[in-house]
A and B are shown apart, each in its own frame.
Chain A
Amino acid sequence: MRKLIFLVSAFCCALLPTACGDRQRSAEREATANEVTIYVSTDRVFSEPILRAYEQKTGVKVNAVYDTEETKSTGLANKLLAEKNNPQADVFWSNEPVRTLVLESRGVLAPYKPPNADGIPATFKDPDGYWTGFSARIRVIVYNTNLVKASEAPRSIYDLTDPKWKGQIAIADPRFGSTSFHVAALYAELGDEKADEFFRKLKANGVKIVPGNSVVRDLVVRGEVKMGLTDTDDVNVALEDKQPVAMVVPDRDGMGAPLMPNMVSLIAGAPHAEAGKKLIDYLLSPEVERMLAQSEAVQIPLHAGTEGPKNIPPINSFKPMTLDYGKAASRVEDVVKRLQPILGL
């Protein structure tokens, strides 16, 4: 027994220093310029074709890592954080602002102002160049057209607290994904007290909290609930599938609807920084925005003059919520802690 312990310790001591030490980065890694690594949070079905198109166009090999649905695993933002001391990725393509802004605050990103960003309004760009927004989605209300008449359909998120819809509303878990962005935006817009009040009323109205936006959509399609909050691309999948649903862009006359752009950033210490910059340029081009608009992603282009997606109201027909993305994202942790007791999470 003692011999065993001695030998085990000897082996461990011999191998442990190599497990703890770090060595100089090899300069040879920069040399392989014909590939680029991108971590993508935007749904794979939409992003993969874009990246394959880039591969075909430029001949550069794109190594992509896709994100799993928000509640199935911890996600790429954590992978990026964990890899910070030895980055494996060159570019991060996020589908909502919160993740990107958290990474910025942790020093994972590097500034880069691509030429194609000039066509994008300033409110969707970081002044220091750490991130640039493009191809946006809207947070909308989806309802079942068989169960809800168009005339009585909700027009504002406040309608969701109406007792006549008690127990018939679903939202995705507000701690994760795009819903976390939505609630952070609401808190930034309404202030803490009014936002707390809204969520208390929502809870009293029997809101069902489900794992994801696609689950919200599925429940509405099945008629298990009559309406819910979700993203435009989730609704569009059901519309394309000829399901009995319709979407409402809420609060056109009030605070407006939150516009949720994709965000693309360069990673600090990227192994193939130059190739990464070129990929970012490509992703911010009107061509890509058009592809995303025309796909089932139905994402709204931010470049002025680029053709918008079908099924979605054009960007000038509704009122977007005026948002400071940085401010909203910085409140997420706080908001999550506030919501836990209110919503009984």
Chain B
Amino acid sequence: MVMKSGMSYFSVSHFSVLSLAVSLFILLCALPAIYMLGLSFTSADGHLSFENYRRLLVEARQRELLRTSALLGAGAAMLATLVGAPLGLLLARARFRGKRWWRLALVIPLVVPPYVLALAWTWLDITSELTYSLTGAIIVLGVSFYPLAMLATEAAARRVDAGLEEAALLVAAPRRVFAKITLPLVAPAVAAAALVIFTLAISEFGVPGLLRINVFTTEVFTAFAALYDFGAATALSVPLLLATIITALAARLIIGERMLTTRRSSRIGLSLTLGKWQTPMVALLLTIIALCVLLPIGVIAREAGGLRLIASSLSNSRAAVINSFALAGAGATLVVMLAALVGYARARMRARWSGLVDLALITLFAVPGTVVGIGLIGLWNHADWRGEIYASPLIIVIAYLARFAPVAALLLAASVRQIPVSFEEAAVVAGASWPRRFGRIVLPQMFTGLSAAWVVAFIFAIGEIGATALVAPPGESTLPVRVYTLIANTPASNLAALSLAQVIIVFLPLALFALFVRQSGGEK
């Protein structure tokens, strides 16, 4: 009834806040990519030129590289979803104790930098054919990213309105309800996570490089590191962006905008009572933890050779650790704040534009970190107030915003769409202003999504290197930048020790988070 005439029920403050948020988003997050795109269409003397695009994908070699990249992305996304989605469902619906600890343990592969996981893979000493192959890379990236699928599926499974399932249970068996009601409602979130994993996998450069498979991202890299050509490098990023767009469109076609607004209930409608399946399930969880968590960490620890080395690496890196925490913490908080507002604007938008906005958001996420970094330098490194910011650690926080706010906005928009507009309308009728409605109704309903977004943004930010290595001012090194500046000429054992130190550092706040933050909605 209300949405047809647009936003006429909403006040000026609603518009001011949202438009300010969207403007900030465009200026901070979209502008670097747009600037670089402009650069790619410019010749050396400043005229419009298609030179960088003329030779794109003309050679069979480049098409072959793109194909490998797409296979890597698809394979990693499928593996990650196959492992992560069932885990998410179990965590959301099955009854068993100590869920928060299982979840914490299962999240660890996301905290380990993918390059380090790839190193652990090579240190396993399996046959050369399997180790250095596309399959090997798919396994490494699948294991690295399955926690994303797991967290997304769990969040979606918890949000399904219990009333829908309870009503269905009156007429159908639990198995059928699960298949016909629960799973379709969870599917869009699973697809969204798979798309994010696809994008992350095709943007990977270090892992394919180490495992000796040639992918398209290497072309982007070569343009930067061997040819020093920013325009060409950006043009070479475009096929990767197109791959993401095509996959996003395909996902949308298959899954559809089947987003039923459901109330988030405080109880779980259909829970999975396992009965005799309890023991096999625990066995499955333990196997996954053994293979995906304990095995890689164990291999890295063995290579590190001893606690002493790890401890000394940590003490030497104290400044970098503190910087990383502070910057990633601030970054994650700002990302979530901006993304919550942008996500809300997207969720309440008219359907005609919404698909385009979603595509724009995922495309921004797919832009390589190095391209964003160069774009940020171009925009911020000027002899005025922008230069002051550029010379300060604030530029690193802006880099985090540019890289992660788009995908956070996408995921938080999904979270907002689950909240019925009727809630807000009722509040309007009761006389509440927009800030009050947003603060008292929308935000609390978004809590699970907000905390998940914060955790993921924090993990991504603390591991970010592509843009950070370019914009970080002198002396302000974050932990991954420090690790990568040191590893060039240290023995493998030092690298293992430093990486393990980094994993421990990042893991601690998550453990604290799990300890103190209670998940609502059927935690036990």
Binding site for B on A (CB under 8 A): 1-4, 7-8, 10-12, 15-16, 18-19, 22-26, 37, 43-46, 63-75, 77-79, 81-83, 85-86, 88, 102, 106, 173, 175-176, 180, 208-212, 214-215, 218, 224, 233-234, 237-238, 241, 296, 332-333, 336, 340-341, 344-345
Contacts and interface: CB of A to CB of B under 8 A. Distances in A.
Contacts of B151: none
8 contacts: A18-B385, A68-B485, A72-B465, A73-B370, A83-B381, A88-B381, A214-B488, A214-B489
Given A45-B489, A65-B474, A72 B484 contact: yes
B350 interface: yes
Contacts of B210: 210-211, 215
Given A11-B20, A88-B391, A218-B492, A78 B383 contact: no
A43 B226 CA distance: 19
Interface stretch (B371-379, B397-405, B430-438): B371-379
Contacts of A208: 212
B228 interface: yes
Contacts of B386: 18-19
B206 A72 contact: yes
A7 B387 contact: no
A4 B209 contact: no
A68 B481 contact: yes
Interface string B198-235: 00000001100110101000100110111110100000
Contacts of A241: 491
Interface string B456-474: 0000000001100110111
B378 A43 contact: no
A11 B377 CA distance: 22
Contacts of B205: 71
B22 to A, nearest CB: 5
A85 B225 contact: no
A180 B374 contact: no
Nearest to A15: B27
A1 B15 CA distance: 9
The 7 closest A-B pairs by CB, nearest first: A63-B474, A7-B19, A11-B23, A68-B484, A82-B377, A74-B224, A69-B488
Given A3-B15, A12-B26, A82-B377, A175 B486 contact: no
A74 B470 CA distance: 8
Nearest to B16: A7
B408 to A, nearest CB: 19
Contacts of A175: 222, 225-226
Nearest to B208: A211
Interface string B469-511: 1101111010001001111111110000000000000000000
A25 B377 CA distance: 17
Nearest to B24: A11
Contact of B487 (A69, A296, A332): A69
Contacts of A12: 23, 26-27
Given A11-B20, A208-B212, A333-B226, A1 B486 contact: no
A296 to B, nearest CB: 8
A191 B487 CA distance: 35
B377 A69 contact: no
Interface string B249-270: 0000000000000000000000
B54 interface: no
A290 B472 CA distance: 31
Contacts of B280: none
B204 to A, nearest CB: 12
B382 interface: yes
B475 A71 contact: no
Nearest to B122: A224
A233 to B, nearest CB: 6
B233 to A, nearest CB: 8
A24 B384 CA distance: 8
B283 to A, nearest CB: 35
B206 A71 contact: yes
Nearest to B6: A1
B18 interface: yes
B488 A43 contact: yes
A77 B350 CA distance: 46
B460 to A, nearest CB: 16
B23 A78 contact: no
B488 A79 contact: no
Contacts of A79: 377, 470
Contacts of B27: 12, 15-16, 19
A21 to B, nearest CB: 8
Given A72-B115, A214-B487, A238-B491, 5 more contacts: A1-B353, A65-B474, A85-B381, A211-B209, A340-B61
Nearest to B233: A74
B318 to A, nearest CB: 15
A5 to B, nearest CB: 9
B475 A44 contact: no
A3 B465 contact: no
Q: Which of A8, A341, A345 has the most CB of B within 10 A?
A: A8
Contact of B19 (A8, A46, A63, A71): A8
Nearest to B20: A11
A106 B19 CA distance: 41
Given A65-B474, A72-B465, A180-B226, A23 B20 contact: no
B212 A237 contact: no
B426 interface: no
Contact of B370 (A46, A74, A102, A345): A74
A78 B228 contact: yes
A88 B476 CA distance: 14
Interface in B1-58: 6-7, 15-16, 18-20, 22-23, 26-27, 31
Given A11-B23, A23-B382, A45-B489, A68 B465 contact: yes
B305 to A, nearest CB: 11
